Amino acid sequence: MQLETTSGVSLSVRIFKPTSNVVEKPVVMVLVHQYSKMGGCQELMRGMAYRLAAKGFTTITFDLRGVGGSTGKPTLTGTAEVQDVVAVCRWVSQHFLARSIVLIGSSAGAPIAGAAIETLKEVVGYVSLGYPFGILSSVLFGRHNKVCLQSQKPKLFVMGTNDGFTSVEQLESKLKTAAGRVEKRLVQGAGHFEMEGPQYDDQMVEYIITFAESLQR
């Protein structure tokens, strides 16, 4: 389906609904894909989306502006794309009975999603998969870090120990400055792009579900 935003951009959105044989969870997962300028698109999130839906979570994927069936132009720093995330989350809050949203961003999608965390009260938690905290990555995406890290909302950061963009030390240093509840999961031996691959979908989904369910207790 196409979602028309107030900024004039039309976003290509896909809804993954739980199957009839599972109990639907009171949380909607919104997945934000990797860097548009390096081939990121919602198709790369499909494996996780199917798995989350199979566990009872309505899950939304979408193409950021200028990708796939979405109109507009991608930006270098992801600044305009933050508004795409906000538009999708606002639409979810208006059209789904499960009003709680967990935002999940992969790679460059992590800082973009993180920058939207405080825009809607319905967003109750945030998951980062491979947040690019490294020095070179921060030239592009560092402007988004403050909003994400200073939010009091619960946050989970997942990273491979062989991530080429962010070292474990850099991740831990950043998380020491974070507010609110902060958790991390390290995937031993996984590289940045490797962790985005389908062989890690089950593990990522397990982390996401455990975190999301902890928010409902």
Which domains does the chain carry? 25-37+74-214 (3.40.50.1820)
pLDDT of residue 140: 84
pTM (2 decimals)? Answer: 0.96
Residue 179 has what DSSP assignment? Answer: -
pLDDT of residue 217: 67
pLDDT digits over 21-43, tens only? 888 899 999 999 999 999 999 99
pLDDT of residue 7: 86
Rg, C-alpha atoms of the chain? 16
Contact criterion met (CB below 8 Å) for 143 and 179: no
pLDDT digits over 55-68, tens only? 999 999 999 999 99
- Cα distance between residue 62 and residue 64, in whole Å: 6
- Cα distance between residue 94 and residue 144, in whole Å: 26
